[in-house]
Amino acid sequence: MWITGAELFVKALKEENVDTLFGYPGGQAIDLFDALYNQKEINVILPRHEQALVHEADGYARATGKVGVCLVTSGPGATNLVTGVATANYDSVPLVCFTGQVPTYLIGNDAFQEVDTIGIMRSICKYAVTVRKREDLAKIIHNAFYIAKSGKPGVVIVDIPKDIQLALGTDDYPNEIHIRGYNPNTSVHMGQVNKAMEILNNAKKPVFLIGGGVNIAHANNEMTKLAEITGVPVITTIMGKGAIPTSHELYVGNIGIHGSYAANTAISNCDVLFSIGTRFNDRITGKIEKFAKGATIIHVDIDPAAISKNISVDIPIVADAKIAIEAIIKKSKKLDIDEWKKEINQWKENYPIRMINDTDVLTPEYIIKTINKLYKNAIITTDVGQNQLWTTQFIDIDNNKRLLTSGGLGTMGYGLPSAIGAKIACLDKDVIAISGDGGIQMNIQELATAVCQELPIVVCILNNGYLGNVRQWQEMFYNKRYSSTCLRYRKSCNDNCKNHDKCCPEYTPNFIMLAQSYGCQAIRVCKKEEVEKAFKAAKKNKKVPTIIEFIIDDNLNVLPMVPPGNSLEDMIIKGEVK
């Protein structure tokens, strides 16, 4: 049968089992949207901005493990995707983004709303392609879904010119994949596993360091099993959080510049570092020369390019985390390392992560621990900055709770839209976005999307009136020169202001009024005793989002912290640096 490119596009989505599409229409995508009109199988979500659109598809993909699908128009539609594409690709989230394009005969002509989408996207995605012939369309879409979800997942851009959307062709859809330049690894080299296990089984002070790869591979149960068989303590990166339940006795904490003292010290003192699915990003290693300097390092990663990129590895294993862990389990045994575990537990006890102990102060620690208490089956998303770091320090994650956060790119504005995407994917779960007063404003227009989609998500705004994470650096390392970080600033203010006081201008916007104008429930919390009540009110609400604005002290910092350029052992535990 002969059908248009646009009709084939819809057929392809169905063949790929797409149930949800995040789309924003425009001139060069109008035919694709027309083909989607009144389709019952595909839920088309209309956000309010294309950047948020990608984050929503990203939240949907992270929450389900399925491919997130975006559809936008050419030109500004495509350029608005950039931040979201880079965010998702950096965290290995499978997305296929379709962009409309001017007709092939106008490409290169500086036509209205024409940009070189593929040229812009090339360096921030896994694969990007323009469809140049109608007969290639089906194969390209089929390959796009395969490339996005296989191997190390990532973002694929498919740019479809308008004349291709309109052109008639066959309705054939391929069911085979053959891409000669792309053969992701689907097995594990047993020789390498044996070598690794010989080292692990003879270790005196081993640790597992687990990154996002284990969560992406959905190998959480296998990882927990491996930890329990061997008895080896588990440290995670932010992206790896939840690889085993955070309440598990073998869980030590997060590594990194805001990791726990016990985790960082254990890394610095271990004799075997068994890492799975992390690329040893600079935020986790600290000063690279001193990172795990006495340890033999084993590194499992699906991406050969991640191995020995940042640190040199003794035993590399290129494999999917789940396949690798299953193979490792077969060769593992209980290790006799009680002394080492005692040592780590001592560090945990002596230096727990705690915020100020003054019982009256409303701290993010208290807010997040209240979430731990009240929500058992939930997805937590964060924005970027202090709100994110506190969340990763205090949130409890297990098999019924997931954490979605922009780890690699660190994108402000991620929290609210990713929560919307996650909620659309998992209506049975509570979804809570934890954001700051800075980040929430980068995509606050999405409250409209959440209201329109009738999503009872909870949006926590930790409002300290500052771009808090930068403010913290300015306080600690820049002599309290608060350059461009105060969000209560007015033109008439004193430029040398060091902190907020009663005379400061009011915060703008008024989040409560703003949220209400969108049709959300809105609650402002200033005191500790109001926290639980606010969440309970949110829980009662089944139809619209609830915004809870928490007014917190402007001088709260994220600690402990490894100052820039230092090794993991040199942490600031409390207070200020001189």
CB neighbours of residue 530 within 10 Å:
15
Residues 559-578 that bind other proteins (CB under 8 A): none
Residues 148-167 that bind other proteins (CB under 8 A): 152
We find the least distance from the C-beta atom of residue 415 to other proteins, in angstroms, to be 28
Residues 104-143 that bind other proteins (CB under 8 A): 118-119, 122-123, 126-128, 130, 132
We find the least distance from the C-beta atom of residue 180 to other proteins, in angstroms, to be 5
We find the least distance from the C-beta atom of residue 8 to other proteins, in angstroms, to be 21
Helix extents (H) in 436-524: 446-452, 468-477, 511-518
Residue of 76, 174, 304, 352 interacting with other proteins (CB under 8 A): 304
Residue of 181, 191, 565, 575 interacting with other proteins (CB under 8 A): 181
Q: Residue 177 interacts with other proteins (CB under 8 A)?
A: no
* Best CA proximity match to 218, nearest among 27, 62, 370: 62
Q: Give 368's contacts (C-beta < 8 A, 6+ positions apart).
A: 390, 391, 394, 395, 434
CB neighbours of residue 246 within 10 Å:
20
We find the least distance from the C-beta atom of residue 309 to other proteins, in angstroms, to be 6
We find the least distance from the C-beta atom of residue 305 to other proteins, in angstroms, to be 4
Give the H or E element holding residue 252. Answer: strand 251-254
* Best CA proximity match to 441, nearest among 419, 471, 416: 416
The number of residues that bind other proteins (CB under 8 A) is 21
Residue of 34, 64, 182, 366 interacting with other proteins (CB under 8 A): 182
Is 108 or 509 the residue whose CB approaches other proteins more closely? Answer: 108
**How far, in Å, CA of 466 to CA of 437, rounded?**
7
* Best CA proximity match to 154, nearest among 189, 117, 182, 115: 182
Is 63 or 307 the residue whose CB approaches other proteins more closely? Answer: 307
> Could you tell me the two tokens for 61?
């993909």
Residue that has been written with the tokens 């191997």 in this structure: 151
Is 22 or 146 the residue whose CB approaches other proteins more closely? Answer: 146
Fill in the per-residue mask, 60 to 99: x = in contact with other proteins (CB under 8 A), - = not in contact: ----------------------------------------
Pairing relationship of beta strands 2-4 and 168-170 according to DSSP bridges:
antiparallel
Q: How many residues does the chain have?
A: 578
| Half-sphere exposure (Cβ direction) of 468: Cα atoms closer than 13 Å | 28
Q: Residue 257 interacts with other proteins (CB under 8 A)?
A: no
Residues 350-389 that bind other proteins (CB under 8 A): none
Residue of 1, 2, 37, 180 interacting with other proteins (CB under 8 A): 180
Residue that has been written with the tokens 């009144």 in this structure: 38
Residue of 225, 287, 309, 524 interacting with other proteins (CB under 8 A): 309
We find the least distance from the C-beta atom of residue 107 to other proteins, in angstroms, to be 10
DSSP 343-397: HHHHHHHHS-------TTS--HHHHHHHHHHH-SSEEEEE-SSHHHHHHHHH---
Is 300 or 344 the residue whose CB approaches other proteins more closely? Answer: 300
Is 129 or 219 the residue whose CB approaches other proteins more closely? Answer: 129
Binding site for other proteins (CB under 8 A): 118-119, 122-123, 126-128, 130, 132, 147, 152, 179-182, 303-305, 307-309
